[in-house]
Homo-oligomer: A and B are copies of this chain.
């Protein structure tokens, strides 16, 4: 592999001059520039990023800390983050925490400043005291605890209200919620939105219609739905806190011969790609994932360049994708 030295020898100039050409420094004689460029071409020179970053004090990487890539929402988001990072000449390092506190702590611990320039975090269990980071970071999604980190995400309360209002507008009155979770900040906010929409419509808040979910996997949605259908007075609609839960719920409904959407309307959250193709297709709250990815990376780029910018809180847009899983009674 060719180094600057090799190129310099071939072009008959100093190493620094080659470096200047590579980095687009203006004052290089046309003649030398040509010779250097020819030598670069001839040797197929590619800068050694390790060395460059050692010298510059940057690494060229950002970390993306998320629960699990096998969860479609995070996979889709990761793809978008990678694309957005590329435009800032950043490479993305993905760390999976599997949603556990220890996994998250471990991921954070490995985020020394020599490994990454910045980090995008999507934690589920972290405590306030864990957020002692040595690099600029941004939190994806809202959390109910106050942490000294910038955030990017949608307004979860408003989004949940939109979903539940939609169900109410269809004449549904016994609306369940799947996905309550004592630790998750977003869960608390979505529950708050659910509650607010019910209240607004004068519907009672029935605690037996609120089902927790340990994880947010399909199996958890299926189990929660079983519990709901076993109630003496089952719901006529369900608001699921993510699409996987909704898919699980739909599966249980099908097994129990409960007709979706007629007997049971279902709304999900995240608008996964798969949700447009289920039968029936799933109505879902659709955060603008590309906007989230872009905003997060942009925010980090700014913080990486000037570290003491104030905290920011970027609200990205969302919409409600109405599909077959919700119709009027």
Q: Give 1 or 0 for each of A40-57: 1 = CB within 8 Å of chain B CB.
A: 000000111111011000
Cβ of A139 < 8 Å from any Cβ of B? Answer: no
Most chain B C-beta atoms within 10 Å of own C-beta, residue among A75, A78, A96, A247: A75
Contact A254 B279 (CB under 8 A): yes
Give the contact stretch, choosing among A17-25, A66-74, A169-177. Answer: A66-74
State the Cβ distance, A91 to closest chain B Cβ, in Å: 5
Contact A112 B1 (CB under 8 A): yes
A69-B82 CB under 8 A given contacts A91-B93, A134-B1, A218-B277: yes
State the Cβ distance, A212 to closest chain B Cβ, in Å: 20
Chain B residues whose C-beta falls within 8 Å of the C-beta of A281 in the assembled complex: 251
Categorize the interface residue count of chain A: 35 or more
Partner of A277, one of B91, B112, B115, B222: B222
Contact A94 B70 (CB under 8 A): no
Contact A112 B251 (CB under 8 A): no
Partner of A72, one of B47, B75, B91, B248: B75
Cβ of A204 < 8 Å from any Cβ of B? Answer: no
Cβ of A76 < 8 Å from any Cβ of B? Answer: yes
**Closest Cβ neighbor of A95 among chain B residues:** B82
**Closest Cβ neighbor of A111 among chain B residues:** B46
Q: Which of A239-287 contact B (CB under 8 A)?
A: 247-248, 250-251, 254, 273-274, 276-279, 281
Contact A82 B54 (CB under 8 A): no
Contact A96 B82 (CB under 8 A): yes
A69-B59 CB under 8 A given contacts A91-B93, A277-B218, A277-B222: no
A70-B218 CB under 8 A given contacts A54-B48, A278-B278: no
A114-B1 CB under 8 A given contacts A50-B50, A218-B274, A274-B274: yes
Contact B72 A79 (CB under 8 A): no
Cβ of A101 < 8 Å from any Cβ of B? Answer: no
Contact B94 A94 (CB under 8 A): yes
Q: Kindly state the separation between the CA atoms of A251 and B72 in the bound complex, as whole angstroms.
A: 19
Chain B residues whose C-beta falls within 8 Å of the C-beta of A273 in the assembled complex: 70, 218
Cβ of A158 < 8 Å from any Cβ of B? Answer: no
Cβ of A13 < 8 Å from any Cβ of B? Answer: no
Cβ of A92 < 8 Å from any Cβ of B? Answer: yes
Partner of A251, one of B68, B250, B279: B279
Partner of A279, one of B1, B54, B82, B279: B279
**Closest Cβ neighbor of A114 among chain B residues:** B48
Contact A51 B54 (CB under 8 A): yes
Contact B53 A50 (CB under 8 A): yes
State the Cβ distance, A240 to closest chain B Cβ, in Å: 13
Chain B residues whose C-beta falls within 8 Å of the C-beta of A278 in the assembled complex: 251, 278-279
Return the 4 tightest CB-CB contacts between A and B, nearest first: A75-B75, A69-B79, A254-B279, A48-B114
What are 16 A-B contacts defined by CB distance under 8 Å?
A: A1-B114, A48-B114, A50-B59, A50-B114, A54-B54, A69-B78, A69-B79, A69-B82, A72-B72, A75-B78, A82-B95, A83-B96, A218-B274, A222-B277, A247-B277, A278-B278
